[in-house]
Amino acid sequence: MSEDTLFSKIVRGEIPAGIVHQDDLVTAFRDIAPQAPTHILVVPNRVIPTADDVTPDDEAVVGRMVRVAGELARAEGIAQDGYRLIMNCRDHGGQEVYHLHLH
Ligand code: 5GP
């Protein structure tokens, strides 16, 4: 079914992950293979496969993803120095999990 991605299972609590935030629209958890001292993924609770699939109806959830990333950066103490937000799109973008996520 369309909601059955690896990250959907994490959102539903069926696969363990270091969840650091969850609300009505998005879930954030620590990347299993961190590429930086702080590496968190922020995902929509409902599957949007790629950045290319975002529709006008998704604007609230995508905005929430960015806002939560900022809140987490402040909570992790890295906001002042700065950080990078990455969203890979499809094969040439290096996307491995087809459930939208912000690194
Ligand atoms: P992408 O390459 O699709 O932009 O990023 C996928 C990310 O998901 C990678 O950084 C990878 O380490 C992370 N990842 C893959 N499987 C799991 C998992 O089971 N748990 C967690 N927490 N992260 C995962």
pLDDT at res. 93: 98
Distance, in Å, from the CA atom of 78 to the CA atom of 25, rounded to the nearest integer, reads 24
Q: Calculate how far, in angstroms, residue 82's C-alpha sits from the geometric centre of ligand 1.
A: 22
Nearest to 21 by CA among 6, 42, 5, 4: 42
Q: pTM of the predicted model, to two decimals?
A: 0.97
- pLDDT tens digits, one per residue of 44-90: 999 999 999 999 999 999 999 999 999 999 999 999 999 999 999 99
Contact indicator for 94, 88 with CB cutoff of 8 Å: yes
Contact indicator for 90, 100 with CB cutoff of 8 Å: no
Distance, in Å, from the CA atom of 29 to the CA atom of 20, rounded to the nearest integer, reads 5
Q: Which residues have C-beta atoms less than 6 Å from ligand 1?
A: 6, 17, 29-33, 41, 88, 94-97
Q: Calculate how far, in angstroms, residue 60's C-alpha sits from the geometric centre of ligand 1.
A: 23
Active site residues per annotation: 101
Q: Calculate how far, in angstroms, residue 74's C-alpha sits from the geometric centre of ligand 1.
A: 22
For residue 84, which phi and psi values (nearest 5 degrees)?
Answer: -115, 135
Exposed, middle or buried, 19 (CB in 10 Å: 0-12/13-18/19+)? middle
- pLDDT tens digits, one per residue of 13-56: 999 999 999 999 999 999 999 999 999 999 999 999 999 999 99
Indicate which residue's Cα is closest to atom 13 of ligand 1. 31
pLDDT at residue 2 tops 80: no
